[in-house]
Amino acid sequence: MVGMVLPTPTLSTDRLLLRPFRDGDAAALFAMHGNAHVLRYWDSPPWTEPSRAQRFLAACRQMADEGTGARVAMERVEDGSFVGWCSLSRWNPDHRTASLGYCLDAPGWGHGYATEAARAVLSWAFDTLDLNRVQAETDTRNVASARVLEKLGFVREGTLREDCVVNGDVSDSWVFGLLSREWQPSVDGPRPAH
C-alpha cells in the first residue's frame, strides 16, 4: 500500500550535513557506486552506466513520495565534499520496523562518519516515526560495517547462510537488530539543520 509523503529530513552533526539528494549529486554517486572496491561486499554489482545514478535519484524521490523511508546524502561540513549516503528504508508503520543502510566512498572511511551519520538518522527516525525495531544486514566479511552497527547498539541476531552471491562468491549475511528501548542517542546528538 502506498502511504503518505515522508519528507526527507536535513540533519546536521558535528562534521556532516545530511540532506536530500539533488540532481547535482549524480557524478559523485556514479563514481562511488561504480567502484568495485567500495562495493566489494554489496549485494549487487558496481554500476557501469552513468544513467544508473538517475534511477537511484528517482528511487530516493519515490521513497519519500510513497512514505516508505528516507535516504540522505552525506556532505562534509568542512569542505562540502560528498561522503556517501545513509538510509532508513522499508518503514512499516504496522510493525513499527524499518531498515538501516549506508554507503561511503573510500576517502571517507575510517573517520567515524558512518557511525555519526547513522546515529543522526536513527535519532530522527526513533523521534518521528514511532519505530520499535530497526534492522540491518551485512556480509559477514564486512567487519567495518558490523563494527558500525555494534557501536550504534545493534545486536547481532543471526546468520543468513549463503544469503547472497557477491561477485561470484556465495556469502553469508549477519542480521542485526536495534530496539527502541535499547536505543541510546548520544548526548551531543544531531540538531535539525536550518
Ligand X SMILES: CC(C)(COP(=O)(O)OP(=O)(O)OC[C@H]1O[C@@H](n2cnc3c(N)ncnc32)[C@H](O)[C@@H]1OP(=O)(O)O)[C@@H](O)C(=O)NCCC(=O)NCCS
For 94, the grid coordinates are: 504496522
Which positions from 12 through 51 interact with ligand X, judged by CB under 6 A? 38, 41
Q: How many residues bind ligand X (CB under 6 A)?
A: 20
* Helical pair 143-152 and 113-128, crossing angle rounded to 10 deg: 40
Cβ-based neighbours of 43, under 8 Å, separated by 6 or more: 139, 164, 166
Closest CA to 160 of 177, 147, 148, 144: 177
Regarding 112 and contact with ligand X (CB under 6 A), the answer is yes
Stretch that binds ligand X, among 10-18, 101-109, 157-165, 181-189 (CB under 6 A): 101-109
Which positions from 139 through 158 interact with ligand X, judged by CB under 6 A? 142-145, 147-148
Regarding 110 and contact with ligand X (CB under 6 A), the answer is yes
Q: What is the DSSP letter of 141?
A: T
Regarding 85 and contact with ligand X (CB under 6 A), the answer is no
Is 65 within 8 Å of 78 (Cβ atoms)? no
Q: How far is the CB of 129 from ligand X (least distance, A)?
A: 21
Contacting positions for ligand X (CB under 6 A): 38, 41, 84, 102-104, 109-115, 138, 142-145, 147-148
